[in-house]
Amino acid sequence: MPVHNRIAQQADEMRQWRHYLHAHPELAFEEHNTADFLAKKLESFGIEVHRGMAKTAVIGVIKGKSANDTIGISKGARVIGLRADIDALPIPEENQFEHKSGTDGIMHACGHDGHATMLLGAAKYLAETRNFDGTVVVIFQPAEEHGGGGKVMCDEGLFEQFPMDTVWGMHNWPGIDVGRAVIQRGASMAAADGFEIHITGRGGHAAMPNNTADPIYAAAALIQSLQSVVSRNLDPLDQAVVSVTQCHGGFTHNVIPDDTFIEGTARYFSPAVGAIIKDRMAHIIEHVATAHGCSAQFKWIEGYPPTINDAAAADRAAQAAADVLGSGSIDMDAPPSMGSEDFAYMLQQRPGAYIWLGAGHPGDGAMLHNAKYDFNDELLPLGASYWATLVERELGLIE
């Protein structure tokens, strides 16, 4: 079963939706026009729409053939959730095509216009055919890029209000051929935490360091020592990154300052590894600062958790993707990405899988978050067909 015929027939319409969304990008939690557009479309397909969660989320509920329907026998009230993100990025677009961003400084540089469109296309097909037994919840989630709209929706009761059994996500992936997909049986995207360190010493004359407690020297020692967390404290088979990305201190050439400031990020795939990193960093920061006569304050800023696919769900997602793309087109052995994704919060609540849909190789190297990036419209029928196939597999009718 390749692309659904009916979905192939709506490819032009989907392209128009996608171009409209691309031309009207909105930032995190401000996707009001986007939400209006999506809600109106869903309503026009006869889908029940819920709004108000996480400020700008749009949720559609599509019911399949009922237990009394002659075609299907109910296997129980199964509910599946499909999620697309809808926000844009604060990047001035450098493209000049007709559907370029109409809003200065904001563009869809991550393809969330395409994600929303693929889910909308699938919703239209599912509402027309209802060739499944159970309920499909289509989740148009705001604020993936900034602010964790996925977490806000979970906190506001997404899974209580819509009791889904499983939840599924998808991202377009430039760098992977069109017609291929990657699905990991575990970690797919990393956790992205931040940290801030304030080192306080005692400033003084640079020519008389013996009268000071030099926070610059302590910061230098600390930056070196922090790299020992990954290389000496973690299992070599675990993957993680600790990067110091800012270091500020001092104001002139002949004064040792009172303090320095260090900032950075930690990326990892398992919460246990994250706990080790945080714990070891706390020890090292305290003791290295003390060793240099300084004191330190350490602030850990929790970001998105790791995005972990359920292994069995990943296998089922792979089967659905193989139905559309062909059995040789699915890669389940690719390493995860050190990027992060707030769909992680939904996968903490329910089993499911997040797949990467190959988006090809942009000629000008315009990858995700690049000012020249544009979602590849070839993917629209593929992604929508994947969603439809996944639903029909997960909520299959018993003849």
Q: Identify the DSSP state of 184.
A: -
Which stretches of 205-325 are DSSP H helices?
215-228, 271-291, 311-325
Q: How far is the CB of 85 from Zn ion (least distance, A)?
A: 6
CB under 5 A: which stretch of 104-112, 203-211, 216-224, 370-378 binds Zn ion?
A: 104-112
Q: How far is the CB of 71 from Zn ion (least distance, A)?
A: 38
Helix (H, G, I), strand (E, B) or coil at 42: helix
Nearer to Zn ion, 24 or 292 (CB): 24
Nearer to Zn ion, 173 or 269 (CB): 173
Nearer to Zn ion, 256 or 355 (CB): 355
Q: Distance between CA 325 and CA 179 in Å, rounded? A: 6
Question: Per residue, what are the HEC states of 270-303?
Answer: CHHHHHHHHHHHHHHHHHHHHHCCCEEEEEEECC
Nearer to Zn ion, 26 or 133 (CB): 26
Alpha carbon 210 to its chain's center? 50
Rule CB under 5 A: is residue 126 a binding residue for Zn ion? no
Q: Distance between CA 136 and CA 392 in Å, rounded? A: 10
Rule CB under 5 A: is residue 28 a binding residue for Zn ion? no
Rule CB under 5 A: is residue 88 a binding residue for Zn ion? no
Alpha carbon 259 to its chain's center? 36
Q: How far is the CB of 185 from Zn ion (least distance, A)?
A: 22
Which stretches of the chain are DSSP H helices?
5-9, 11-23, 32-44, 112-129, 149-155, 158-161, 215-228, 271-291, 311-325, 343-349, 379-394
User: Which residues between 134 and 193 bind Zn ion (CB under 5 A)?
Assistant: none
Rule CB under 5 A: is residue 27 a binding residue for Zn ion? no
Q: How far is the CB of 284 from Zn ion (least distance, A)?
A: 32
In this structure, are residues 267 and 191 in contact, taking their beta carbons and an 8 Å threshold?
yes
Nearer to Zn ion, 90 or 335 (CB): 90
Phi, psi of 151 (to 5 degrees): -70, -45
Q: How far is the CB of 320 from Zn ion (least distance, A)?
A: 21
CB under 5 A: which stretch of 29-37, 67-75, 103-111, 342-350 binds Zn ion?
A: 103-111
H or E segment at 50?
strand 48-51
- In the block, which residue shows the tokens 């007709």? 98
Q: How far is the CB of 91 from Zn ion (least distance, A)?
A: 10
Binding string, 105-124, against Zn ion, x = CB under 5 A? -----x--------------
Q: How far is the CB of 321 from Zn ion (least distance, A)?
A: 19
Nearer to Zn ion, 141 or 385 (CB): 141
Q: How far is the CB of 136 from Zn ion (least distance, A)?
A: 22
Nearer to Zn ion, 110 or 276 (CB): 110
Nearer to Zn ion, 3 or 110 (CB): 110
Q: How many residues bind Zn ion (CB under 5 A)?
A: 1
Q: Distance between CA 135 and CA 131 in Å, rounded? A: 11
Q: Is the dihedral of CA 300, 305, 306, 311 positive or negative?
A: positive
**Closest residue to bound Zn ion by CB:** 110
Give contact residues for Zn ion (rule: CB under 5 A).
110
